[in-house]
Structures are given as structure tokens and as C-alpha cells.
Amino acid sequence: MRRARPLLGTFVEIAVAGAPPAEMEAAVEAAFAAVATVHGLMSFHDEDSDVSRLNREAFAVPVAVHPWTFEVLDIAGELRRRSAGVFDIGIAPVLQNLGLLPRPDGMTPWPAAGPRGGDPIELLSDCRIRFRDRGVRIDLGGIAKGYAVDRAVEALRGCGMSEGVVNAGGDLAVFGPHPHAIHIRDPRQPQRPMCEVALRDAALATSAGRFDPLTCREAGESAVIDPRTGAPVCGIVGATVRAPTCVHADALTKVVMAFGEAAGPLLEFYGASALFVSGRGVHVSADWQDGVHLAA
């Protein structure tokens, strides 16, 4: 059974197998409900989301959030510390200044800056969050999609599914006894497949330049911003990360885009591996877990 719905700013596709149709239908509905919950909690654009409430209020008073939002902020904080600030959900002001995120009427631009010393986001008891800096505004666009995939997989497993795939616009996870062939686009020519990898009980995520097939056949400038410079990353045009969880695969693509081969120790810490493309060609980390078959 395979279903798709528009969520998370993309199309989310969920497929399951190996169970009676009624059970598969119920499992897929539960998985879509989990994705919709993440969408509602972590949207930058929805004024009622946890993210929007935090951006409005968390410097003035601690703000209570959903446990899933709290968990994502905890994961993001660890990634920020371990990546020396290269993964930073506090990048929202830079994205607003670049026109990549909207700025509410009356909100003045906030100057782009490098990583701040210390952690500007404080996680308190009872799922409460406080911002230590008045200028902090967060965007979870670099991690929430992967987290939603993980929650959907959890819902499918919780409904007794033994095999399935969740794909949120290229951030995906598979589980079950059979490997799945995953085609990765060439970030230099996004309409062309670059290679195929076999994925089993793992997650995969990709970051590259912005691409709209309706307007241009070429990839545009990178949508990944390096917080150290306040500018789109350069040198690496696309990165794919394989990891045990999609939340980490999603976030680590941004670190690989900025660090390239220097991201190796962080990938190793999270049990992840990477494939990325630079001006010098295709690179694969030493611990990439199976063969990569380059397209002709």
C-alpha cells in the first residue's frame, strides 16, 4: 500500500507491506497523523506553532512546548555543540535577511552574525524553553523533516507493520527485511540520477542547491547557510548522509555541506556516513556502508 500527501512543504509518501489491507490503512493514517503533528508544531510560517510562539515570547518568559518540539531542540543543541556552531537552528534571522524566510510586519532585520558563544537556547524542566538572547529566532527547517520521518516510522511499527518506507521529499527511512534501491540526484544536474544505493533499516537525507524543475533545469544557489559567514555554503554542491535515524541524517547534511571531509569525526560519532559532490567530483566517506553505483 502506498499513499502520498502534501505536508512539510513537500510531498510525503508512505508505503507499507506484509499485512492485511485494513491494518495497513490504519497504520498509514497513524503515520500521516504523526507527520502532520510535527508540521503543526515546528512550522516557521504558522503563527500558532511552537516555533512561532518561541520566536515571539521565549526571551521574555519560558514557553512550554510539546515534548516532540522539546526533543528536537535538545537534539539540535547537541548537534550545535558538537559541530562548533555549524549546525544552528538560530539561523532564522540570516534566512530572513536573505529573503529565504518571511519577516512579520514591523519586525526589524537582525544583523547576521557568526555562532554565538554558549548556548542561547535554554531547556528547562516540564518541556519549557527560554531564549537567553533577545535576537534569537529559530527555524527547524534543517531538522524537522527528518524528525517527522522518524515519528512516522515509529507510528508504522507501533501499528504492527514489519516493512515500510517513509519519504518526505528525499529525506527518507526504510525498515524491514528487504533492502530498497534509492536513487540519488546529481546536485549539478538535478534532473539526472547520479547513483543508486541499497538502504535497509536506515535513513537517508540530501541537501543541495535550490531546484525548481518548472523554471530551470539547473540547480540554484545553495539553500544551506553557514552560520560562521551568514552566506550560502560554497565548495560543496550537494551532500547525502546515511544514518540510523532520519533526524540525524537530515541535520548532518548541513554539516557535511559546510565541512566536507572534515565532518568525518562527527559522522562517526552518530554512526553515519556521507556522499558529497564538490568541484573535484564525487566523494564518499570511508565508512559508507555499501557500494555506490554511479549512473552512466
Question: For residues 263 and 265, what is the distance between their CA atoms, to the nearest angstrom?
Answer: 6
Residue 197: exposure state from Cβ atoms within 10 A (0-12, 13-18, ≥19): buried
Dihedral of alpha carbons 215, 237, 294, 175, sign? negative
Question: For residues 261 and 42, what is the distance between their CA atoms, to the nearest angstrom?
Answer: 31
H or E element, residue 103? none
Each residue's pLDDT tens digit, 12-30? 999 999 999 999 999 999 9
For 104, residues 6+ apart whose C-beta sits below 8 A from its C-beta are none
pLDDT at 246 > cutoff 80: yes
Instruction: Map grid coordinates 565508512 to a residue.
Output: 287
- Between 214 and 200, name the one with better pLDDT: 200
pLDDT at 275 > cutoff 70: yes
Count CB-CB contacts under 10 A for residue 160: 13
Each residue's pLDDT tens digit, 61-113? 999 999 999 999 999 999 999 999 999 999 888 888 878 888 765 455 555 44
pTM, whole model, 2 decimals?
A: 0.89
Question: For residues 23 and 222, what is the distance between their CA atoms, to the nearest angstrom?
Answer: 41
